Structure 1
Amino acid sequence: MAVETGAGARAGMEAPALEGGAVLGSLLDLKADALGTYLRARQRHGDVVRIHVGPPGLRMDMYCVFSAEGAQQVLASESANYRKDNPFYEEIRESFGNGLLTAQDADYLRQRRLVQPLFTRRRVDGYAGAVAEETAGTLASWARARDAIVDVSDEMMHLALRAVSRILFGADADATTDVVHRCFPVITEYVLRRGYSPLNVPRTWPTPGNRRAAAAAEELYGVCDRIIAERRAGGDPAEDLLTLLAGAQSPDGEGFDTAELRDQVLIFLLAGHETTATSLAFTLHLLGRHPEEQARAREEVVRVLGDRTPEAADLDRLPYLTRVLKEAMRLYPAAPVFGRNAVAAGEIDGYAVPAGATVVLAPWVTHRHPRYWSDPDRFDPGRFTPEAEASRPRYAWFPFGGGPRACIGQHFSMLESVIALAMLLRAYEIEAVDTEVPLSAGMTLRAEGPMRCRIRPVRR
């Protein structure tokens, strides 16, 4: 008699639970080391694991899904059943508006139809010049760096914010960059604290945290509203992304109203700079620890570009540098953990998931799953040759999400990252000073300490 194995053998079974405290479950473990807790859950219990969070009466069960097949089910094949309705997305929605990242149903479909024509490959390729100019500004700053040591985390955050602000706001980028740099950390910390807390006071209560977040939001909204009003008045003929968003129309002539336009701007600022900055910083840091791979990437850049400014067409001419970037995004995905809410009861990898359950996907864990990645903690750009990619399940690597809600800006992120890396590596040798960097999982992957690298001008 044949014995059934795998998902079919356990169909409808309750998922195993990670051991936690009697009072708070795994809440303290997640606060102390969320990434390590998720890794430990998979190592001990497999690809679908329940994690209990919070005290009795307020406890939540998170159904953590770690397999590529499970991720594909949640994000693609059964995406209608797994929605962005959990408390964390609601907090983002409250602080940053109901833009493309957080909208649902008819709102999302309408916004996507309006925005999609602005993110075609041809349109996005037109931003290559702005990215190159902002990277040239970073290089000029590095030439003045004291002791030839820079914190690549801070440097790449500044570069990515400058680039996305310039593309969004054009000539008004300077007016927004300082405000975003100052206000975003206050708001994102507030969102994180509330999103992961089992009980929150109303936002209208005059607590110190509420007041700080409200003041930061008021300043951020104010500068966005002022620039939007100027665009609406037609006083600026610029072709920046904000102008294009303001003019976007559906076939029936419907467009964004002023509040919706601000929501899109805030979401693009949120999603468009921290994620790319994270990928750039960790790529540089990894190359600073792996000089042979760095030398190979630089050789390709110099051979392809010479001394000219990189263009969008160069992405296809820099395959090794692209593999380096993808491998860095595997090891350090900018969105290491994110969640969905199950609408109806179902099964994932053969385990029962009840209606209303919080479902957690963790690229941080799936990108290290030994079923898909041999020696998963090793930095190896060779994992991303076309042949190697074709041999793996589609969702073994998903730094941009997937399915109908895949990140609309993924081509822009890759374009910006490859152009910036090419210019930085052509000009400087990188050596990691802080070889070990503590990490945490916030709205994006975060370095909890400096990521200092010594930079030396390349001699050619």
Structure 2
Amino acid sequence: MNPTSSSQCPFHADAKTPAPILHPLGVWPPGPPAGLTGWSLLVRMSRDLLGTLAAWQREFGDVVHLRLWPEHDVVVADPQLARELLVTNHDALVRWERGIRVFSHVHGSSVLIAEGEAWRNKRHALNPSFTPKAVQAFIPSIAAATENALAQWPMNHERWPIESALTSLTMDVIMQMIFSSEIGDDARVAEEAVRVASAAANAEFYWPASSPEWVPWKRGKRRAIAALKDLIERQLQARLTLPDDAWPDDLLSRLLQLHRDDAMTWPLQAVRDECMTAFLAGHETTAATLVWWAWCMASNPAAQKAAREEVRQVLRGRVPTVETVSSLRYLNQTIKETLRLYPTAPVLISRRCAKPITLGSWQLPERTMFMVPVQLMHHDPRWFAEPLEFRPERFAADAPEVPRGAYLPFGAGPRVCLGQHLALVEMTVIAAMVLQRFELSAPEGMASPPPVMNVTLRPETPLRLQVATAR
């Protein structure tokens, strides 16, 4: 018999139940045999992380212990316990140190990397640029960038490279937000650099230690990071040549003002780091979701037809505005369902507890590591009926409530994705304008593209779809 989670069912999370009987400290949840070091488990995860974690959940339950010498890693795939970990115990957690060091090669010391007081200060400074109200101000520029991009798409094409086209578009949007500039001829270079850097980072996570950055086999990673840093640096230097009164109201100007006000806390390198994180996180997560949304539309013609009809009724041929975006309810449901099926971050950055914590019935010592496999919970039939089916109605206003913690496309707790409001608004605007102009369909004989996780979730090969003028 497979062991089950000792946590309370999320459907009855508010019910009065007795406190769980605690396992003694030093007793770990069940898990696969690790051998001498457990590194064989790393090899298995490196080949198919999501499939491996799903197999272990079926065999051992919702809380799985992995002995990966010198670490004890606990996989938490129970919604209530995941929320308990990320929300209730957030002050006991730090992110996995070596994983963060790998990310820091690209992101420096940005808000993505920082911990403790440094993180709180950076998050507080950046929050005003990512509030729902601040994001609404970008809708006209998102719509303008989308209109320009879609004008370059063919009216009919049997295998249009839609993944590359959507990635370029989201790069343009985030470039406007950060630098009031377009990506232009840098788009293909930046796209390839992001792909190479992401794949290199993902590969390093499955080695017990990282090799130095100067080794010959990391030449491709070094070149990719250099290309991205050059993109940021050119924008920064161009801004510094302008008189202050000519600075546009964008994220770079706000960061430079922080530098002018307090150069000790906000040196120019900190400005570079935040621009890099905003560029990478700001376009990659949105692009990946839009690519999967395009596939979901192409492979579900009835949902695409319903979404297009809503767009036509609400927009009446006009571009989306602050007033109309919120009325595109069904379209928003298709995006949320895409995020459920294909979460951009299918496994959250691992956490480590800095002090002992209790999670459900388990007493876990200081320095325990935790993985939260979001996709496993999104695909769990206990929380979502027929979980592999694309059903936007799951997110209708009158749909049954999803258990808290079962749907975490942007994480949870204080470190929830800073750009979640921007991402949802941007995806809604772009998706609406695509449906205004085009019908999407899968080329004949095309199977569902296998997803591959290289930090974010993308199709195994770049997605190409048939596009035709919307009727």
Q: Do Structure 1 and Structure 2 share a fold, with TM-score over 0.5?
A: yes
The AA in structure 2 aligned to 1:212 is G
Structure 1: distance between partners of 2:89 and 2:199: 32
Q: Is the 8 A contact 1:289 1:435 kept in 2?
A: no
1:455 and 2:467 aligned = yes
Deviations 1:230-256 (A, max 9, x none): 323444422232112222489989862
1:441 and 2:453 aligned = yes
The secondary structure found in structure 1 opposite 2:382 is: coil
Question: Post-superposition shift, 1:378?
Answer: 1.4
The secondary structure found in structure 1 opposite 2:100 is: helix
The secondary structure found in structure 2 opposite 1:63 is: strand
Structure 1: distance between partners of 2:306 and 2:373: 31
- Other-structure match for 1:323: 333
Structure 1: distance between partners of 2:461 and 2:226: 30
Identical amino acids, percent of aligned pairs: 26
Among candidates 203, 225, 231, match of residue 217 of structure 1: 225
Structure 1: distance between partners of 2:337 and 2:396: 11
The AA in structure 1 aligned to 2:106 is S
The AA in structure 1 aligned to 2:119 is Y
Structure 1 residues 249 and 113, CA, compared in 2 at 3 Å: closer, same or farther? farther
1:207 and 2:207 aligned = no
5 Å-filtered alignment, 1:309-388, equals 309-338=319-348, 339-388=350-399
Among candidates 100, 104, 126, match of residue 93 of structure 1: 104
Structure 2: distance between partners of 1:18 and 1:37: 11
The secondary structure found in structure 1 opposite 2:439 is: strand
Question: Which deviates more, 298-307 or 157-166?
Answer: 157-166
Q: Is the 8 A contact 2:155 2:467 kept in 1?
A: no
Question: Post-superposition shift, 1:114?
Answer: 1.1
1:166 and 2:176 aligned = yes
Structure 2: distance between partners of 1:369 and 1:251: 49
- Other-structure match for 1:151: 161
Q: What value does the CA root-mean-square deviation take over the aligned residues?
A: 2.4
Structure 1 residues 171 and 178, CA, compared in 2 at 3 Å: closer, same or farther? same
1:229 and 2:237 aligned = yes
- Other-structure match for 1:415: 425
The AA in structure 2 aligned to 1:441 is M
Structure 2: distance between partners of 1:228 and 1:270: 16
Q: Is the 8 A contact 2:179 2:250 kept in 1?
A: yes
Among candidates 404, 421, 440, match of residue 394 of structure 1: 404
Structure 2: distance between partners of 1:21 and 1:328: 39
Question: Post-superposition shift, 1:144?
Answer: 5.8
Higher helix fraction: Structure 1 or Structure 2?
Answer: 1
Q: What 5-or-longer segments of structure 1 have no aligned partner?
A: none
- Other-structure match for 1:137: 148
Question: Post-superposition shift, 1:369?
Answer: 1.9
Q: Is the 8 A contact 1:298 1:426 kept in 2?
A: yes
Question: Post-superposition shift, 1:432?
Answer: 1.9
- Other-structure match for 2:196: 186
Structure 1 residues 21 and 253, CA, compared in 2 at 3 Å: closer, same or farther? closer
Structure 2: distance between partners of 1:373 and 1:250: 50
Question: Which deviates more, 28-37 or 215-224?
Answer: 215-224
Q: Is the 8 A contact 1:275 1:334 kept in 2?
A: yes
Deviations 1:276-327 (A, max 9, x none): 1111111110111111111111110000001101113323201111011001
Q: Is the 8 A contact 1:426 1:458 kept in 2?
A: yes
Q: What 5-or-longer segments of structure 2 have no aligned partner?
A: 8-19
Structure 1 residues 250 and 40, CA, compared in 2 at 3 Å: closer, same or farther? farther
Structure 2: distance between partners of 1:117 and 1:231: 21
Aligned residues: 447
Question: Which deviates more, 427-436 or 328-337?
Answer: 427-436
The secondary structure found in structure 2 opposite 1:292 is: helix
The AA in structure 1 aligned to 2:430 is A
Question: Post-superposition shift, 1:21?
Answer: 6.8
The AA in structure 2 aligned to 1:16 is P
- Other-structure match for 1:48: 63
- Other-structure match for 2:31: 17
The secondary structure found in structure 1 opposite 2:40 is: coil
Structure 1 residues 31 and 206, CA, compared in 2 at 3 Å: closer, same or farther? closer
- Other-structure match for 2:132: 121
The AA in structure 1 aligned to 2:140 is G
Structure 1: distance between partners of 2:439 and 2:263: 52
The secondary structure found in structure 2 opposite 1:62 is: strand
Deviations 1:170-196 (A, max 9, x none): 136437545422422232222222232
The AA in structure 2 aligned to 1:17 is G
The AA in structure 2 aligned to 1:214 is R
Question: Post-superposition shift, 1:52?
Answer: 4.1
